């Protein structure tokens, strides 16, 4: 049935006829046990209801399905303990490999992954060391480029609105990169508003900008931890007749589909999310031994909001 091995055409035909007649469904559980190697790939992400992960997943699942692999997906909800449970649980399905978002894991998780003896692909972040394959782009660098862009445009009284960077470590790295450029130029952030929510949302952006402008009316540009927040802020400006970018410039991160369709396309950084998933999956399937880091970069979108 798997068209592999040696046999005559007549036998093959008979087998195929029989499977048809009995509507036989092969049992991959048994197959997996016998062959030790399953056509299953584990995927661990923080959350699925989020603008970034679905794109990454789509890319990965696409490549995986094309190669006859099935993905078994789990969400940690940003909880490191949950991540450990999940990894353990997924590993017990003896997947052919494991894709996991980010480079920041507990010691236990790192140990588990290392001992799994299957390719591990860490996605979306390349700013730190990985287990074996690392695919994504630099958040530190994205933060730096964003700062350089705003400074080049002449903004000097810059504020920051973000969601919880203690939970979203990648947003934290962008912030770090952003601030370090300012510091190198002898400038400091005028003010910041960091929400408590672990996840970015449009509503939080609206509220965050309102609070920031209230406390620091002199701000002339705002860097957001994500497009969601920046979009909310943009809507806030629209409603309150705050002229963008004259009164205040806005800069986001992600390059979501929506951001270039609002009346003034958002200035932001676009990441190759789908590609990250695809490349990650491909790396995992072609089991070359050599661990490596693949920097897929990002694109700065000038937009009309800064």
Partner DNA sequence: CTGAAAGCGCTAACAG
Partner DNA sequence: CTGTTAGCGCTTTCAG
Query: Under the rule (CB under 8 A), what is the footprint of its own copies?
Result: 23, 25-30, 32-33, 38, 40, 47-50, 53-55, 57-58, 61-62, 65, 68, 70-75, 86, 88-94, 111, 115-116, 201-203, 206, 231-232, 235, 238-239, 257-258, 261-263, 274
Does 107 interact with DNA (rule: CB under 7 A)?
no
10 part of the interface to DNA, by CB under 7 A: yes
Contact between 71 and 41 under an 8 Å Cβ cutoff? The reply is yes
Q: Of 4-12, 53-61, 97-105, 146-154, which part binds DNA (CB under 7 A)?
A: 4-12
Using the rule CB under 7 A, give the single segment among 7-15, 73-81, 95-103, 131-139 that binds DNA: 7-15
- Distances in Å between the alpha carbon of 288 and those of 115, 118, 205, 285, 296? 18, 11, 43, 9, 19
For DNA, the binding residue among 21, 30, 152, 196 (CB under 7 A) is 30
- Name the residue nearer to its own copies (CB basis): 96 or 173: 96
Considering CB distances under 5 to 8 angstroms, the limit depending on partner class, which of its own copies, DNA, none binds residue 275? none
Query: From its own copies, DNA, none, which one binds at residue 65 (CB under 5 to 8 Å depending on kind)?
Result: its own copies
- For residue 171, the minimal CB distance to its own copies (Å) is 19
Residue from the set 17, 18, 26, 197 that interacts with DNA by CB under 7 A:
26
- CB 194, min distance to DNA, A: 45
Binding site partner of 86, from its own copies, DNA, none, Cβ cut-off 5-8 A by kind = its own copies
Selected from 13, 17, 18, 33, the binder of DNA by CB under 7 A is 33
To DNA, the closest distance from the beta carbon of 278 in angstroms equals 27
- With CB under 5 to 8 Å by kind, the binding choice for 75 among DNA, its own copies, none is its own copies
Residue-wise DSSP of the chain: --S-S---HHHHHHHHHHHHHTT----HHHHHHHHS--SEEEEEES-SSSSSHHHHHHHHHHHHHHTT-EEEEEE-TT-HHHHHHHHHHHHTT--SEEEEE-S---HHHHHHHHHT-S-EEEES--SS--SSEEEE--HHHHHHHHHHHHHHTT--SEEEEES-TTT-HHHHHHHHHHHHHHHHTT---SEEEE-S-SS--HHHHHHHHHHHHHH-TT--EEEESSHHHHHHHHHHHHHTT--TTTT-EEE-SB--GGGGTSSSPPBEEE--HHHHHHHHHHHHHS--S--EEEE---EEE--S--
- Give whichever of 21 and 261 is closer to its own copies, judged by the CB atom: 261
Binding site for DNA (CB under 7 A): 2, 5-8, 10-11, 24, 26-27, 30-31, 33-37
């Amino acid at each position: 049935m798997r068209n592999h091995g040696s046999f005559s055409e007549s036998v093959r035909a008979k087998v195929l006829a029989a499977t048809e007649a009995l509507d036989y469904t092969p049992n991959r559980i048994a197959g997996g046990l016998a062959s030790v190697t399953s056509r299953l790939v584990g995927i661990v992400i923080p959350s699925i209801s989020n603008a970034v992960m679905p794109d990454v997943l789509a890319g990965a699942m696409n490549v995986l399905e094309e190669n006859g692999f099935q993905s078994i997906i789990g969400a940690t909800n940003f909880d490191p303990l949950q991540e450990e449970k999940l990894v353990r649980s997924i590993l017990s399905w003896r997947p052919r490999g494991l894709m996991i978002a980010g480079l920041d894991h507990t010691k236990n998780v790192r140990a588990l992954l290392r001992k799994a003896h299957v390719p591990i692909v860490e996605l979306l972040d390349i700013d730190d060391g990985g287990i074996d394959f690392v695919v994504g782009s630099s958040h530190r660098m994205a933060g730096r480029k964003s700062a350089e862009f705003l400074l080049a445009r002449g903004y000097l009284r810059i504020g920051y609105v973000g969601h919880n960077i203690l939970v979203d470590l990648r947003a934290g790295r962008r912030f770090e990169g952003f601030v370090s450029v300012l510091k190198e130029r002898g400038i400091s952030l005028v003010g910041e508003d960091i929400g408590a929510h672990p996840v970015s949302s449009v509503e939080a952006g609206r509220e965050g900008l309102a609070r920031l402008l209230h406390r620091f009316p002199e701000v002339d540009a705002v860097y957001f931890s994500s497009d969601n927040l920046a979009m909310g802020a943009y809507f806030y400006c629209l409603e309150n007749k705050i002229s963008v970018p004259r009164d205040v410039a806005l800069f986001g991160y992600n390059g979501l589909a929506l951001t270039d369709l609002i009346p003034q396309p958002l200035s932001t950084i676009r990441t190759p999310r789908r590609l990250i998933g695809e490349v990650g999956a491909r790396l995992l399937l072609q089991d070359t031994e050599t661990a490596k880091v693949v920097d897929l970069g990002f694109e700065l979108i000038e937009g009309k909001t800064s």
